[in-house]
Structure 1
């Protein structure tokens, strides 16, 4: 049971180590490009989620109108 708690959120020093490893692997010039790509991906996901929700709401309204 203790091993489950060992996999919690990283603390202060762990974040520092993670950031240093990312800087070493990708370099300082590549990080903004990666962040932009991540932002675009999140935006597309949100837009797709909104579109699906709208389609479901529209079909529910049509179903209610038929009754």
Structure 2
């Protein structure tokens, strides 16, 4: 289930004071775990967590990794 769209990578980079490459990497990690779904120029869609593991990943602090 789609819950919304992320702001553009340029906007996020400016907001968080990081490079667009950093934002791109973070979006890639989130896409690999099924939290977001990138759609090129149409934006990156935020997906509703479908499993307890995904919900835990969303709650995990910056830089933390989940152990399965």
Using the size of structure 1 for normalisation, the TM-score is 0.29
Name the structure with the higher strand share.
2
Instruction: Return the structure number with greater relative CO, CA threshold 8 A, min gap 6.
Output: 2
Name the structure with the higher helix share.
1
Of structures 1 and 2, the larger Rg is shown by: 1
